[in-house]
Amino acid sequence: MKFTYEAYARLIRTIREAGYEMMDYHSFHNAKKCCILRHDVDMDLGAAVDFAEFEADLEGGPVKATYFILISSGLYNPYSKECAENLKRIVRAGHEIGLHFDEKRYMDEEDFDSGRLLECVIHESALLSDMIGKRVRCVSMHRPSKRFLEENIHFEGIVNSYSKKFFKEFKYMSDSRMRWREDAERIIAEGKEQKLHILTHPIWYAHSEKNLRDVLQAYIYAAIPERYALVKDNFTNLQEVISLEDFI
């Protein structure tokens, strides 16, 4: 499968034609054949917004997905004005916001402590809920440790998308590192699985296909004008000292 918007739209059409109903982490029991769409926002919230609005606008009707947002990342700040507006746009496009949680922010694998992790997830969920003005009801782990997966932790009132249920009862497929581990399109089209759990990363998708290196290079290069604009907003007469052209 190509990493283009067009190919993604085709994937959604295949899911629908194979008889799956698009459900979320709370409603999936209501469908005989269901598909949960999940997106982890590891780096680029702007790409996530474009994707969210694209999904809302799909031919054949909008799809509802869950966008998992990191609040502990150094790559975007969901509390900034721009990101807050982007989160609102994702919600307005009909999607759910979940917490993407990075356990390495708090502990190394050798110091793994499920009680502490539980507290940290509850704390970050409350912070994100406050930011979006809506209760966060699900969490996904950013690069989960083996220990975390083994523990199958239950968070009171928050669905753990990495719990055994969503991995054992569901057919889970992911495009991590811009690579499907199996032929997702074929598996979906065959329709043999009753429950699908599909993770995609909006940053990989564009109107024309790029490879992994190009996507990451463009993302890193884009940081220069973005950082310049931010410094300009916070430093009077920046252009008298240095201009954006000096970096290009």
Which residues form the interface with Zn ion (CB under 5 A)?
40, 42, 142
Interacting residues of 243 by C-beta distance below 8 A, sequence separation 6+: none
Q: Quick one: 42 or 55, whose CB is closer to Zn ion?
A: 42
- Report, in Å, the least distance between residue 189 CB and Zn ion: 28
CA distance 170 to 24: 13
- Report, in Å, the least distance between residue 194 CB and Zn ion: 27
**Distance between first and last Cα of the chain:** 35
DSSP line for 30-47: G-SSEEEEEEEESS-HHH
Q: Quick one: 40 or 103, whose CB is closer to Zn ion?
A: 40
- Report, in Å, the least distance between residue 48 CB and Zn ion: 12
Q: Quick one: 142 or 197, whose CB is closer to Zn ion?
A: 142
Q: Quick one: 42 or 44, whose CB is closer to Zn ion?
A: 42
Q: How many helices (DSSP H) and strands (DSSP E) are in the chain?
A: 10, 8
- Report, in Å, the least distance between residue 62 CB and Zn ion: 24
- Angle, CA 76 vertex, CA 73 and CA 80 arms, to 5°: 120
Longest distance between any two alpha carbons in the chain, whole Å: 64
Interacting residues of 166 by C-beta distance below 8 A, sequence separation 6+: 25, 36, 160, 172, 197
Q: Quick one: 34 or 87, whose CB is closer to Zn ion?
A: 87
- Report, in Å, the least distance between residue 2 CB and Zn ion: 22
